[in-house]
Structure 1
């Protein structure tokens, strides 16, 4: 296994992490932005107000995108394990 192989595996792994976590991060960012705009408009300065809506929105995204996330993770793991003999050389 060469250094290039390790770099390729690390690059693919990091890209998978970004791709899988992006829906939850984007939804959390949008919900936080909407709630902060609401707090600015209404002059409510409660720090804990964003926690429950973000938690619920991330849970909803996990319910909606969970199968896609699992399929990506399983596909990548299968690809790694099927090419394991190439990596051991």
Structure 2
């Protein structure tokens, strides 16, 4: 999906919020509502995929000595 590559997470979220606002207004014809819904689902998937990619990057931290260890947050919100 080319759109996934070109859209930033923030832009995808902004577009998704705009679609939600349009659908919440309730005066959208059924056919257009379906189109908006499909676009929203695609944007939701883009955001989810981008978040998963970042999460995988964050799972590992490069230590000062070059070793890699899993990134785990303790319950206080700090890094362990």
Question: What is the TM-score of this pair, normalised by structure 1?
Answer: 0.35
Structure of larger gyration radius: 1
> As a proportion of its length, which structure holds more strand?
2
TM-score between both structures, scaled by the size of structure 2: 0.37
Q: State the structure with bigger RCO (CA 8 A, min sep 6), 1 or 2.
A: 1
